[in-house]
Amino acid sequence: MELGIITLLITILSAIGLFKSLKTKNFFAVGYATITVLVFGWFSIMTLYSIIFTSGGGQIG
Cβ neighbourhood burial of 2 (10 Å; 0-12, 13-18, 19+) = exposed
| pLDDT on residue 9 | 96
Over the chain (61 residues), the average pLDDT of each successive run of 10 is 90 96 95 96 91 70 49
| pLDDT on residue 57 | 60
Q: How far apart are CA 49 and CA 27, in angstroms?
A: 32
Task: Please count the other Cβ atoms lying within 10 Å of the Cβ belonging to residue 14.
Answer: 19
| pLDDT on residue 56 | 66
| pLDDT on residue 1 | 77
pTM of the model: 0.80
Domain ranges of the chain: 2-53
